[in-house]
């Protein structure tokens, strides 16, 4: 493959002048001191997680976004809904900003790994090495998920991937290539499998903001589900939650959450004290203040489709449906995000908005294990899928009864009567996930992973967008600056 020189934006993406970038790159990434002891390396790794937000583009592109017919149009929301390429790299809610934030996170991980190697890769650095490798794997996985085709064993070896960076970049321009989806996945697997055993939870002061062993196993279930290695999904899920111990780690929607008011729910949902949150990350974003009012979002039509009790195999509404606030579709929302506003100075009346994003949760691990068992499609594995779904519903159906509400295979096959047992179970999981992750962007990951066709229709009927299984717009365009500097753009 031809190697291209691209402006990768991993060490100085926020700087404009090339001379400024050069000066920046001539210094250590930690301006306070040299990376010459384990504590400093560990501190640097706080920056090895993307500080951009993928939710706005992901949720807006998905079938969770309906047209409310308002006149307000926010570009990150409307451009994504219309599948138009975005060029703004300054907003925390755009694809270019997220691309840059991922590569900056990768840069921090690589500088830490370089420092560890220089120090002799001793046991004192083992935990940091593990965190750096898994964080690097995660950021590359999110990049390849959005900016390349979903993994398909038949085409992954030829589908363009993203640049997998494994060394600190100390020059503004370098030789890079996109590789293939298969090569990116190979590198992710290598980093993940080497890094996970090295992680030590005791090395973290606030574990929920780092890759603990629990969070790393959770990420592994997502990665291997995309890779279609179903036994490894199950193995990692079982390592995290053996047996039915996942039950105590799920959000108590039908008990505690169900009783909370708007601001109480908003405060707990992304809090580090919530057991379901396995990995949290602060991201520069106005999503928390805006998602309820965006024109393309939880419309009346979407609400009726997603949360209607008659539209899921249980025949009962899940508890989340009772927590839709707003009174009118113009501002329908489930209060999941609370904005953190940071002023530029103590006396300033302007600053930057941040949201805490739950990157990995216990619910996702349960869903991933349930789907993996369904895909193995044996009598025993399907029974395990049913068991996981029943555990989930025990935390979601208000007044859950272990007799009348217990989930069964027939409930899935009766509801999805034209599907095989395996496919009916997978369809059931996707149905629950769509409700569970409203406003969180994860529906889009299922859409691209499983090539689910969707439609976006404007309220006035003038815009009708069909996104078929192989529509090129499923792959988000890489940033304009990277294309201009020589990196091959995604076809349109």
In a domain, 442, yes or no: yes
Are 425 and 382 in contact by the 8 Å Cβ rule? The answer is yes
Are 176 and 162 in contact by the 8 Å Cβ rule? The answer is no
User: Phi and psi at residue 351, in whole multiples of 5°?
Assistant: 175, -150
In the chain the first and final C-alpha atoms are separated, in Å, by: 21
Higher pLDDT, 37 or 274: 274
> Which of 207, 203, 194, 146 lies closest to 166, judged by CA?
194
Cα separations (Å) of 386 from 99, 214, 257, 335? 38, 23, 24, 30
Mean pLDDT, residues 121-127 = 96
> Which of 141, 233, 220 lies closest to 187, judged by CA?
141
Cα separations (Å) of 252 from 161, 218, 247, 274, 326? 39, 19, 9, 10, 22
Higher pLDDT, 90 or 56: 56
Question: What's the residue count for the chain?
Answer: 492
Are 5 and 486 in contact by the 8 Å Cβ rule? The answer is yes
Question: Could you tell me the pTM of the whole model?
Answer: 0.92
Q: How high is the pLDDT of residue 334?
A: 98
Mean pLDDT, residues 356-377 = 98
Give the tokens for residue 4.
Answer: 């291209």
Query: pLDDT (tens digit, 9 = 90+) per residue, 402-434?
Result: 999 999 999 999 999 999 999 999 999 999 999
In a domain, 383, yes or no: yes
Query: pLDDT (tens digit, 9 = 90+) per residue, 265-314?
Result: 999 999 999 999 999 999 999 999 999 999 999 999 999 999 999 999 99
Check pLDDT > 90 for residue 228.
yes
> Which of 478, 490, 483, 476 lies closest to 146, judged by CA?
476
Looking at the fold, whether 443 and 473 belong to one and the same domain comes out as no
Mind giving me the DSSP string for 144-165? Answer: HHHHSPPP-TTTTTTSB-----
Instruction: Give the total number of structural domains in the chain.
Output: 2
**Locus of tokens 């008990």:** 255
Q: Look at 164-178, 253-267, 373-387 and tell me which has the smallest mean pLDDT.
A: 164-178
Looking at the fold, whether 84 and 197 belong to one and the same domain comes out as yes
Mean pLDDT, residues 387-413 = 97
In a domain, 10, yes or no: no
Can you list the alpha helix ranges (DSSP code H) found in 228-361?
230-240, 258-259, 262-269, 287-290, 300-307
Looking at the fold, whether 436 and 471 belong to one and the same domain comes out as no
Mean pLDDT, residues 313-322 = 96
Higher pLDDT, 29 or 163: 163
In a domain, 217, yes or no: no
Reading phi first (left if > 0) and then psi (alpha if -120 to 50, else beta), residue 399 is in left
Are 432 and 367 in contact by the 8 Å Cβ rule? The answer is yes
Q: How high is the pLDDT of residue 4?
A: 41
In a domain, 319, yes or no: yes
For β-strands 351-361 and 454-457, DSSP reports them as unpaired
Domain that holds residue 52: 26-211+453-485
Check pLDDT > 90 for residue 28.
no
**Locus of tokens 């025990």:** 394
Looking at the fold, whether 150 and 250 belong to one and the same domain comes out as no
CATH number, position 170: 1.25.40.390
> Which of 171, 195, 439 lies closest to 325, judged by CA?
439
Query: pLDDT (tens digit, 9 = 90+) per residue, 71-89?
Result: 878 999 999 999 999 999 9
- Cα dihedral across residues 85, 445, 67, 285: positive or negative: negative
Looking at the fold, whether 252 and 369 belong to one and the same domain comes out as yes
Give the tokens for residue 349.
Answer: 């009346």
Q: How high does pLDDT run on average in the chain?
A: 91
């Amino acid at each position: 493959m031809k190697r291209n020189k691209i402006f990768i934006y991993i060490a100085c993406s926020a700087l404009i002048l090339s001379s400024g970038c050069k000066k920046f790159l001539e210094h250590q990434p930690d301006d306070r001191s040299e990376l010459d002891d384990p504590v400093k390396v560990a501190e640097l790794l706080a920056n090895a997680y993307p500080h951009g937000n993928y939710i706005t583009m992901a949720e807006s592109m998905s079938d969770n976004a309906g047209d409310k017919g308002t006149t307000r149009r926010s570009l990150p929301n409307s451009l994504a809904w219309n599948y138009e390429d975005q060029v703004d790299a300054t907003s925390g809610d755009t694809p270019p900003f997220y691309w840059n934030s991922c590569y900056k996170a990768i840069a921090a991980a690589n500088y830490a790994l370089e420092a560890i190697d220089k120090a002799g890769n001793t046991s004192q650095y083992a935990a940091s090495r593990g965190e750096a490798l898994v964080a690097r794997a995660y950021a590359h996985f999110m990049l390849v998920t959005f900016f390349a085709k979903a993994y398909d064993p038949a085409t992954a070896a030829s589908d363009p991937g993203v640049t997998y960076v494994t060394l600190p970049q100390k020059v503004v321009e370098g030789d890079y290539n996109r590789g293939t989806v298969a090569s990116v996945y190979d590198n992710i697997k290598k980093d993940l499998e080497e890094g996970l055993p090295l992680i030590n939870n005791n090395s973290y002061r606030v574990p929920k903001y780092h890759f603990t062993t629990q969070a790393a196993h959770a990420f592994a279930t997502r990665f291997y589900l995309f890779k279609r290695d179903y036994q490894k999904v199950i193995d990692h899920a079982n390592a995290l939650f053996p047996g039915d111990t996942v039950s105590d780690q799920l959000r108590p929607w039908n008990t505690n959450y169900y009783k909370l008011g708007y601001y109480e729910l908003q405060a707990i949902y992304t809090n580090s004290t919530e057991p379901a949150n396995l990995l949290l990350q602060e991201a520069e974003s106005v999503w928390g203040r805006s998602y309820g009012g965006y024109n393309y979002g939880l419309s009346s039509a979407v609400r009726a489709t997603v949360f209607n009790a008659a539209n899921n195999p249980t025949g009962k509404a899940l508890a989340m449906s009772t927590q839709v606030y707003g009174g009118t579709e113009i501002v329908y929302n489930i209060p999941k995000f609370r904005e953190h506003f940071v002023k530029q100075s103590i006396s300033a009346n302007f600053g930057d908005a941040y949201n805490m994003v739950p990157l990995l949760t216990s619910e996702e691990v349960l869903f991933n294990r349930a789907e993996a068992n369904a895909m193995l499609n044996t009598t025993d594995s399907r029974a395990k899928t049913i068991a996981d779904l029943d555990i989930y519903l025990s935390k979601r159906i208000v007044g859950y009864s272990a007799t009348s509400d217990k989930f069964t295979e027939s409930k899935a096959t009766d509801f999805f009567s034209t599907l095989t047992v395996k496919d009916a179970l997978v369809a059931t999981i996707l149905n629950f996930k769509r409700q569970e992750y409203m406003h969180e962007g994860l529906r889009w990951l299922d859409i691209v992973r499983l090539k689910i066709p969707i439609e976006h229709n404007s309220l006035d009927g003038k815009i009708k967008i069909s996104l078929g299984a192989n529509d090129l717009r499923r792959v988000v365009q890489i940033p304009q600056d990277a294309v201009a500097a020589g990196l091959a753009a995604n076809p349109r």
